[in-house]
Structure 1
Amino acid sequence: MNHPDQCEIPVNKDTLDIDAMRAAAEQARGLLKVLSNPDRLLLLCQLTQGEQCVSDLEQALGIQQPTLSQQLGVLRDEALVQTRREGKQIYYSITSREAQAVMQVLYDLYCGANQGANK
């Protein structure tokens, strides 16, 4: 019988690199912090559909200026999106593999065909 403080799955502490785990946890915390803002979450969700210009994002999501620019700036500063200029239009696309993967999981959980199955 296991003590309540013990894990049921044996862990080989020789194979764990605690410093690497801490660094990974800090990276995950940073991504989750960015995603914790509803406007940024909506923007990334919309951008999973492909590159879009600012005016299209504004129309699709109903996020008004200057909030839209501010939140897109945060996503750009955190290297989750990149921009491309074409004439007067600025286009945004997701560049972060991690953000894309998390957005896919969130879509599957909350927006996909089985969204009501676990409620």
Structure 2
Amino acid sequence: MSGPLAAPSRVSRLLVARRNVDIAELLSHARDASELLKALSHESRLVILCLLAEGDKSVSELAEILDQRQPAVSQQLARLKADHLVQARRMGTHIHYSLAREEVRDIILALHGAFCRPAPAPQIDDPGI
């Protein structure tokens, strides 16, 4: 069909094609987000990321803070490193870990804001007013 009625059909096809590209991109991003959320789903890994959001720490520092054995902390750090959430650098005989990307820090800070805020002070009614 030609003429003015053909234009909406062409536009519709372009919109559908554009939507498919966006959905493919969305699925790719969703896969990445899902992997991140899997890593965050373990309490120890989440706490490690929270501690690293405050600054670099060695395995021994993390083990002491968490009151966990160093091999257990190292195992969690290995998973976080494999997921590209933390990075390691050697400083003398110690390996120090830090968050690998600013996006990780942003997510940890958002979680901290949602779950770790101090409880609001109770409202006290002043009967003298």
TM-score by length of 1: 0.79
Please state if 1:86 is matched with 2:86: no
The within-5 A match list for 1:1-119 is 16=19, 17-113=22-118
Post-superposition offset of 1:18: 0.5
Residues 21 and 47 (structure 1), Cα distance of their counterparts in 2 relative to 1, 3 Å cut: same
Unmatched segments (≥5 aa) in structure 1: 1-11
Q: 1:55 Cα deviation (Å)?
A: 1.1
Post-superposition Cα deviations, 1:44-65, rounded to whole Å, max 9, x if no partner, equal 0000001111111111111213
How many corresponding residue pairs? 105
SS in 2 for 1:48: helix
Structure 2 unpaired stretches of 5+:
1-14, 122-129
Separation (CA, whole Å) in 2 of partners of 1:115 and 1:46: 23
Counterpart-to-counterpart distance in 2, 1:114 and 1:32: 26
Q: Return the alpha-carbon distance in structure 1 between the equivalents of residues 70 and 59 of structure 2.
A: 10
SS in 2 for 1:112: coil
After superposition, give the CA deviation of every residue in 1:53-105 in whole Å (9 maximum; x if it has no partner).
11111111112132111000001111111111111111000012322111011
**Quick check: which one's helix share is greater?**
2
Q: In structure 2, how many angstroms separate the alpha carbons of the residues matched to 1:15 and 1:28?
A: 22
Compute the RMSD of aligned alpha carbons: 2.1
Which shifted more, 13-22 or 76-85? 13-22
Find the aligned partners of 1:115 and 1:90 in 2 and give their Cα distance. Answer: 39
Larger radius of gyration: 2
Question: CA separation of 1:21/1:115 partners in 2, compared to 1, >3 Å: closer, same or farther?
Answer: farther
Stretch deviating more after TM superposition (28-37 or 107-116):
107-116
SS in 2 for 1:63: coil
Q: Is the 8 A contact 1:48 1:103 kept in 2?
A: yes
